[in-house]
Structure 1
């Protein structure tokens, strides 16, 4: 490679890197400067909008009092869908929710950034057992919510659902994503 070719390659690489870095930084600064209570500026995502991005499924939860509860869930099974989650949704029906599925069990951390509805989060082990329930999460919060152990999935339901249906640690989530649901 000649010195001229090397200079041209280096110049192009630097220019491309600057464009990519600029795009990344502008995206980060926009995201980081979003007001916490910017409800007027934030999109209003509906169930129909979620149906265009996420596939739907059903899951059942067996509670310790021997009751079975069924939910219609959107599936967040890749990095892009898991990152989006229920952001910008303003309401959920009582039997709606989202199931986050990970490739393998690991400690999971969630937050409520850009999430306008309070949720109950169920952290679920690979065998479908609920490890931990976090009730009535705070909308728009950047606080980290931990799984408390290796989770393969997280079920998000409208706030108050866990208490109303007596869903607690040890409940069984039945869905093909979990070994007990297969």
Structure 2
């Protein structure tokens, strides 16, 4: 191989290595898990306002469950999909109030709040916040005395069966696949 051919081959190899390295440094799909890690999945039963009168059965949804303080702190941060579940339920130890935020959360979400009786209280849409500064991320105040909060992909609460007059109950059954069609 001539000196000129060797130089061209080395330059081509260097360009290829540089291109491959640059592509992987900012690719979230390589650096983030497909869904939350360390959370159990359970069936969430969602009943509409007229479920009893109409005799309809509750909808069954598969959700990640955040029931410890650490799980509630982590939530859906640093994940880029629901990872085979329909959403995440935050279970409080007792009725509470406070705020949610979207720091390091890639997915735009809708969140619904439910009281100790499982009845719908309120809902709000939340936008991702990728700011380096915590103070730049919006805080979304919760209603007082909520016990469960349900996060789903933004705009999917109605499809999930959640809204005015609906109620939820967390079932003891575990689930392994998404139930939203």
Please give the range of the TM-score, normalised by the shorter of the 2 chains: 0.5 to 0.7
**Structure ranking higher on relative contact order (CA contacts 8 Å, 6+ apart):** 2
1:94, distance to aligned residue in structure 2 (A): 8.4
Q: 5+ residue gaps in structure 2?
A: 1-24, 131-136, 173-181
1:63, distance to aligned residue in structure 2 (A): 2.2
Instruction: Please name the residue that 2:26 is paired with.
Output: 40
Residues 100 and 125 (structure 1), Cα distance of their counterparts in 2 relative to 1, 3 Å cut: same
User: How large is the RMSD of aligned CA atoms in angstroms?
Assistant: 2.5
Q: 5+ residue gaps in structure 1?
A: 1-38, 178-182
Residues 56 and 93 (structure 1), Cα distance of their counterparts in 2 relative to 1, 3 Å cut: closer
Instruction: Please give the secondary structure, in 2, of the residue aligned with 1:149.
Output: coil
| Pairs within 5 Å for 1:1-182 | 40=26, 43-47=31-35, 50=36, 52-64=37-49, 66=51, 68-92=58-82, 96-135=86-125, 137-140=126-129, 142-165=137-160, 167-175=162-170
Deviations 1:43-73 (A, max 9, x none): 41213xx3x4111111011123546332111
1:104, distance to aligned residue in structure 2 (A): 0.5
Checking the alignment, whether the CA contact within 8 Å between 1:108 and 1:150 is kept in structure 2 is no
TM-score by length of 1: 0.65
Looking at structure 1, the residues matched to 39 and 84 of structure 2 have their Cα atoms a distance apart, in angstroms, of 19
Looking at structure 2, the residues matched to 159 and 98 of structure 1 have their Cα atoms a distance apart, in angstroms, of 13
Looking at structure 1, the residues matched to 158 and 120 of structure 2 have their Cα atoms a distance apart, in angstroms, of 14
Instruction: Please give the secondary structure, in 2, of the residue aligned with 1:148.
Output: coil
Residues 165 and 75 (structure 1), Cα distance of their counterparts in 2 relative to 1, 3 Å cut: closer
Looking at structure 2, the residues matched to 158 and 151 of structure 1 have their Cα atoms a distance apart, in angstroms, of 20
Checking the alignment, whether the CA contact within 8 Å between 1:129 and 1:170 is kept in structure 2 is yes
Instruction: Please name the residue that 2:21 is paired with.
Output: none
- Runs of 4+ aligned residues of structure 1 deviating over 6 Å after TM superposition are none
TM-score by length of 2: 0.65
